[in-house]
Amino acid sequence: MDWLVDTNILIDHLRGISKATTFLRQARSSGTLWLSAITVAEVYAGQGTRQPKQAAKISRLLNLFRIAYVDGSVGRLGGEIARDVGTALPDALIAATAARKGLVLATRNTSHFTNIPNLNVRAPY
């Protein structure tokens, strides 16, 4: 199974939450792990990335993922989701990325993605 991993799962892993680390290891061994470019931006917006040691750790982690970029198709669907469902634009773009690529969205914030059609969302722990 191929996964689009939401920001909160990465943050949990970086904070040493073992359930997040276990999920990422198991998911990586059985499929492809993806991140939205939006998630990359959210991770680098964190203040910890100003510290060289933490920035290097994040860079190593992100290198384990394929990055899904926001193209016109994802942008349009994300805008429609934000407009029609009321989802915040960053989450709408993440949802649109998962939907367009046929990926399962792994997040702890499943409530952010309710009522979005054609989206497979799972809380991995």
User: What string of pLDDT tens digits covers the 125 residues of the chain?
Assistant: 999 999 999 999 999 999 999 999 999 999 999 999 999 999 999 888 899 999 999 999 999 999 999 999 999 999 999 999 999 999 999 999 999 999 999 999 999 998 999 999 999 99
Q: Where are the domains of the chain?
A: 3-122
The matching CATH number, chosen from 3.40.190.80, 3.40.50.2300, 3.40.50.1010, 3.30.460.80, for 3-122 is 3.40.50.1010
Dihedral-angle region of residue 36 (phi above 0 means left; psi in -120 to 50 means alpha; beta otherwise): beta
CA–CA distance, 61 with 29 (Å, rounded to integer) = 15
CB atoms within 10 A of CB 90: 17
pTM: 0.94
